[in-house]
């Protein structure tokens, strides 16, 4: 079965490919020649994930899933949330985003936060949704160089290392995206591929 993961992000693609059953041939937006700028105009992660998947299915005719992920920080009333990728500006620079978050939390004792990933799947003219959440804390500085995005400043609950320090295997098992993908994988396995 061929299915498109609506991303150009090779880090995400690699994470997801490692989790999906071998019967599924995962294609990226690059693989189908999609270089459209898909506007993420939704007010929620769910809306943005649906917008992206619907665009690929209606424009390119592929079954598709897309995700949207946000970092929601308690002391910032849920920010950056849906704006996580462009929190420090339209350049979507991870280092700038982390610097802004650390600056905004510098005097805060409340470092609680969680990552949330929502996956929207269009398959055979039906739609499905899957969600993964991981709770944790924002550190006071960056630790580690693995992963991407906010990984070096997010320490998941129950661990002493940030996502920037943990191995890819552990991160895939416990992360927000990993948990949402596990639900997607279980869905595919239940369909008896």
Q: What is the pTM of this model?
A: 0.88
Question: Mean pLDDT in the chain?
Answer: 92
pLDDT band at 68 (very low <50, low <70, confident <90, very high): very high
Domain ranges of the chain: 2-190
Q: What is the pLDDT of residue 164?
A: 96
Q: Which two tokens stand for residue 119?
A: 């996956």
Query: How many CA atoms lie less than 13 Å away from 135 in the CB half-sphere?
Result: 4
Six-digit token pair at 52? 């992206």
Residue 104 vs residues 27, 79, 89, 100, 111: alpha-carbon distances, Å:
38, 11, 15, 6, 11
Annotated catalytic residue within 30, 54, 63, 68: 68
> Which of residues 188 and 29 earns the better pLDDT score?
29
Q: How far apart are CA 179 and CA 116, in angstroms?
A: 10
- The answer to whether 68 is a known catalytic residue is yes
Range in 69-78, 85-94, 108-117, 131-140 with the lowest mean pLDDT = 85-94
Region 13-41: mean pLDDT is 87
Largest distance between two CA atoms of the chain: 52
Fold of 2-190: Maf protein (3.90.950)
HSE-up of 6 (CA within 13 Å, CB side)?
Answer: 31
> Does the structure show a pLDDT above 60 at 193?
no
Q: What is the distance between the alpha carbons of residues 119 and 51, in angstroms, rounded to a whole number?
A: 11
Predicted local distance difference test score (pLDDT) of residue 192: 57
Q: pLDDT: is 152 or 18 the higher one?
A: 152
Q: Is the pLDDT of residue 18 over 80?
A: no
Distances (CA, A) of 18 to 22, 37, 125, 172, 182: 9, 27, 26, 9, 11
Residue 160, both tokens: 């002493």
Q: Considering only 7-21, 57-71, 72-86, 138-152, which range has the smallest mean pLDDT?
A: 7-21
Per-residue pLDDT tens over the stretch 100-148: 999 999 999 999 999 999 999 999 999 999 999 999 999 999 999 988 8
């Amino acid at each position: 079965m061929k299915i498109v993961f609506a991303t150009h992000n090779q880090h995400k693609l690699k994470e997801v490919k490692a989790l999906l059953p071998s019967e599924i041939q995962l294609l990226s937006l690059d693989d189908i020649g999609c270089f459209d700028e898909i506007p993420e105009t939704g007010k929620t992660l769910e809306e943005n994930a649906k917008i992206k998947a619907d665009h690929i299915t209606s424009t390119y005719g592929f079954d598709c899933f897309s995700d949207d992920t946000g970092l929601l920080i308690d002391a910032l009333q849920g920010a950056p949330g849906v704006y996580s990728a462009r929190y420090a500006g339209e350049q979507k620079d991870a280092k700038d985003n982390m610097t802004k978050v650390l600056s905004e939390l510098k005097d805060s004792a409340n470092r609680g936060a969680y990552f949330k990933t929502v996956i929207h799947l269009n398959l055979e003219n039906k739609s499905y949704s899957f969600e993964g959440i991981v709770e944790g804390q924002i550190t006071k500085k960056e630790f580690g160089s693995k992963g991407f995005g906010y990984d070096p400043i997010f320490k998941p609950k129950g661990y002493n290392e940030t996502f920037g320090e943990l191995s890819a295997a552990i991160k895939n098992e416990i992360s927000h995206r990993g948990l949402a993908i596990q639900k997607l994988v279980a869905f595919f396995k239940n369909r008896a591929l």
